[in-house]
Chains A and B, each alone.
Chain A
Amino acid sequence: MKELLECLERDHTQTPEQLAIMLNKPVEEIAALIKKYQDEKVIVKYQTIIDWEKAGIDNVTAVIEVRITPQREVGFDAIAERIYRYSEVRSLYLMSGGYDLSVTVEGASLKEVADFVSTKLSTIDGVVSTTTHFMLKKYKFAGVIIKDEEEEHRLVVSP
């Protein structure tokens, strides 16, 4: 049910009871659906979006363009796996265009990220080249504006 998934994607803390009312379905049905989606990994994971900068905890993020030589039989997948298994890698996408993989790496410092690229990433067999872009500021993430300065200006009561 697309509506249920959309509701959960926006706010997974809503209870099955509340979702059942909102979607006009029996609560048992909603609970069963959620369980099914979790079991089938349609719902992959529930996560929290944190503004680390605001929390006063510094970290460094880089987006790295990686060019690789695809391998017989497995194409890009084998190399991709060797990259995404690293816990430093936050996201990994296969891209069309001028490079093959877009790797997002997070570390505590510039040095940590640089070390990762030079000693881990670029030494993997099949990696032809890397171009590292350090992220300067995060405006929007996962559909959420980080510092949203829009606010309500409505009157308390209006006709």
Chain B
Amino acid sequence: MNWADRIAPTVKAIPPSGIRRFFDIAAEMKGVISLGVGEPDFITPWHIRESCIHGLHRGYTSYTSNYGLLELREEITKSLHKDYQVTYDPRQEVLVTVGVSEGLDLAMRALLGPGDEVLVPEPCYVSYKSCVTLAGGTPITIPTSAENEFRITAEQLEKYVTPRTKILLIGYPNNPTGAIMSREDLEGIAAFALKHDLIVISDEIYAKLTYDGTHTCFSSLPGMRDRTIVLNGFSKAYAMTGWRIGYAVSNVEFIAAMTKIHQYTMLCTPITAQIAAIEALKSGEKNVEHMVSEYNYRRRLIFNGFRQMGLDCFEPKGAFYIFPSIKQTGLTSLEFAEQLLMAEKVALVPGDAFGESGEGFVRCSYATSTKNITEALERIGRFIKNIKK
């Protein structure tokens, strides 16, 4: 029996994650320094963990409202208002999701019909295109380049827009490039969205990890609130990846549509994670500040290291990734990553895992100790010298 034949065509058509493959090799090896991890090396701050433990003691083990605990939704809207002066109704315009991952899936499924096109700037987070495809839409990828600091412009987007274009999906600060978009940059994109009547889905999970300038929430731009779905979460800023919690905010209709799917497929986000998230928003600011300054030190350290090696490297401004070009080695991203792992036991992720325009680059995460970063830089430097010989 060939069970593979029974798998749905949409699922079959999706390529396996480029990261997965690499993981299998790296996981088997001993003594590997990994710059391949897309999550904080910090453990969730204690007061946040403690609040969850306390919640369990008091018997919080039930379902919650499909939307999530009202107290959490209120904290979310309060923090969005405080940070970006954007206002949402906690009762109808917020949905607590199982991470940004679920939020992304819900947004696509709620909005896309067959053949609808979604503009997806690349390199980008690995899930974007697959989420579009699984929801029956068509991803239209738009390459970005180091020359333009991996940003997008309206001028460039114009070349890809068609009558079928429905959504623009952006993610800044960016995984894998570390790029950010300034307020002025985003204003250009807002005008473009308005002109073509597009919905913007803005994945702002790294918003708090912005080192140069301040983050602008897309929905805070004039006229953008209702045509934007902002996705955000706790995974990165609060070091809470394993808790699986995030949220979506948008207009009443979009949130209702997403909640409809969520109530049948997920029911609700685990109450344990919701309780912890309330604590994170209420009193996690100091922890975030501490982690951000720590990432910033490492960012400068790793950027300087790649510069010293003579690699072309864009200075990342957000998230915790750096995306140096390895074109001068004459190797492809995958060759570079594989050979580096074998020769020097440093794991990083080949840039093409994040889209074609990531070819020629590698993603290095600096969410690891300065000691690891220093040692990894030494090994990478040695590896590159040996290639050049």
Question: For residue A7, which residue of chain B has the nearest CB?
Answer: B297
B60 interfacial by beta-carbon distance below 8 Å: no
B157 interfacial by beta-carbon distance below 8 Å: no
Instruction: Select the stretch in A38-46, A83-91, A104-112, A149-157 that faces chain B.
Output: A149-157
Nearest CB in chain B: distance from A8 CB, A? 13
In the complex, what residues of B have CB within 8 A of residue A23's CB?
A: 297, 300
Kindly state the separation between the CA atoms of A150 and B34 in the bound complex, as whole angstroms: 19
Q: Decide if B347 touches A157 in the complex (CB within 8 Å).
A: yes
Render B12-49 as a binary contact track against A, CB cut-off 8 A, 1 for contact.
Answer: 00000101001100110000101011110101000000
Query: Given that A18-B370, A22-B370 are known contacts, is A156 also in contact with B32, CB under 8 Å in the complex?
Result: yes
Q: Decide if B19 touches A158 in the complex (CB within 8 Å).
A: yes
Count chain B CB atoms within 10 A of each CB in A23, A156, A159 and give the residue with the most. A159
Kindly state the separation between the CA atoms of A7 and B370 in the bound complex, as whole angstroms: 12
Kindly state the separation between the CA atoms of A21 and B293 in the bound complex, as whole angstroms: 13
A48 interfacial by beta-carbon distance below 8 Å: no
Query: Given that A18-B370, A22-B370, A150-B43 are known contacts, is A156 also in contact with B297, CB under 8 Å in the complex?
Result: no
Question: For residue A24, which residue of chain B has the nearest CB?
Answer: B300
Q: Decide if B37 touches A18 in the complex (CB within 8 Å).
A: no
Q: Decide if A3 touches B293 in the complex (CB within 8 Å).
A: yes
Nearest CB in chain B: distance from A154 CB, A? 5
Kindly state the separation between the CA atoms of A15 and B26 in the bound complex, as whole angstroms: 31
Q: Decide if A156 touches B39 in the complex (CB within 8 Å).
A: no
Q: Decide if A156 touches B36 in the complex (CB within 8 Å).
A: yes
Nearest CB in chain A: distance from B170 CB, A? 17
Kindly state the separation between the CA atoms of A155 and B349 in the bound complex, as whole angstroms: 13
Kindly state the separation between the CA atoms of A22 and B211 in the bound complex, as whole angstroms: 13
Q: Decide if A156 touches B41 in the complex (CB within 8 Å).
A: no
Q: Decide if A158 touches B301 in the complex (CB within 8 Å).
A: no
Q: Decide if A154 touches B293 in the complex (CB within 8 Å).
A: no
Q: Decide if B23 touches A22 in the complex (CB within 8 Å).
A: no
Q: Of B22, B298, B301, B370, which one neighbours A157 at CB under 8 angstroms?
A: B22
Kindly state the separation between the CA atoms of A3 and B296 in the bound complex, as whole angstroms: 12
Interface residue total, chain A, C-beta cutoff 8 A: 16
Q: Of B19, B297, B298, B374, which one neighbours A159 at CB under 8 angstroms?
A: B19
Kindly state the separation between the CA atoms of A120 and B175 in the bound complex, as whole angstroms: 64
Nearest CB in chain A: distance from B113 CB, A? 28
Q: Of A3, A24, A152, which one neighbours B41 at CB under 8 angstroms?
A: A152
Nearest CB in chain B: distance from A33 CB, A? 16
Q: Decide if A159 touches B38 in the complex (CB within 8 Å).
A: yes
Query: Given that A22-B370, A150-B43 are known contacts, is A156 also in contact with B301, CB under 8 Å in the complex?
Result: no
Count chain A CB atoms within 10 A of each CB in B41, B300, B347 and give the residue with the most. B300
Query: Given that A3-B293, A22-B301 are known contacts, is A156 also in contact with B43, CB under 8 Å in the complex?
Result: no
Interface residues of A in 26-60 (CB under 8 A from B): none
In the complex, what residues of B have CB within 8 A of residue A150's CB?
A: 43
Kindly state the separation between the CA atoms of A24 and B17 in the bound complex, as whole angstroms: 37
Query: Given that A3-B293, A18-B370, A150-B43 are known contacts, is A158 also in contact with B38, CB under 8 Å in the complex?
Result: yes
Q: Decide if B300 touches A156 in the complex (CB within 8 Å).
A: no
Kindly state the separation between the CA atoms of A149 and B175 in the bound complex, as whole angstroms: 31
B10 interfacial by beta-carbon distance below 8 Å: no
Interface residues of A in 131-159 (CB under 8 A from B): 150, 152, 154-159
B304 interfacial by beta-carbon distance below 8 Å: yes
Q: Decide if B37 touches A156 in the complex (CB within 8 Å).
A: yes
Q: Decide if A156 touches B304 in the complex (CB within 8 Å).
A: no
Query: Given that A21-B304, A22-B370, A24-B300 are known contacts, is A159 also in contact with B32, CB under 8 Å in the complex?
Result: no
Kindly state the separation between the CA atoms of A150 and B49 in the bound complex, as whole angstroms: 13
Nearest CB in chain A: distance from B52 CB, A? 16
Kindly state the separation between the CA atoms of A14 and B373 in the bound complex, as whole angstroms: 13
Q: Decide if A158 touches B39 in the complex (CB within 8 Å).
A: yes
Question: For residue B308, which residue of chain A has the nearest CB?
Answer: A21
Q: Decide if B293 touches A159 in the complex (CB within 8 Å).
A: no
Cross-chain pairs A/B with CB under 8 angstroms, 15 sampled: A22-B297, A22-B301, A22-B370, A152-B41, A152-B43, A154-B41, A155-B23, A156-B27, A156-B34, A156-B37, A156-B347, A157-B22, A157-B27, A158-B39, A159-B17
Binding site for B on A (CB under 8 A): 3, 7, 14, 18, 21-24, 150, 152, 154-159
Given contacts A18-B301, A158-B19, A158-B37, 18 further A-B contacts (CB under 8 A): A7-B297, A14-B370, A21-B301, A22-B301, A22-B370, A23-B297, A150-B43, A154-B37, A155-B23, A156-B27, A156-B36, A156-B347, A157-B22, A157-B34, A157-B347, A158-B39, A159-B17, A159-B38
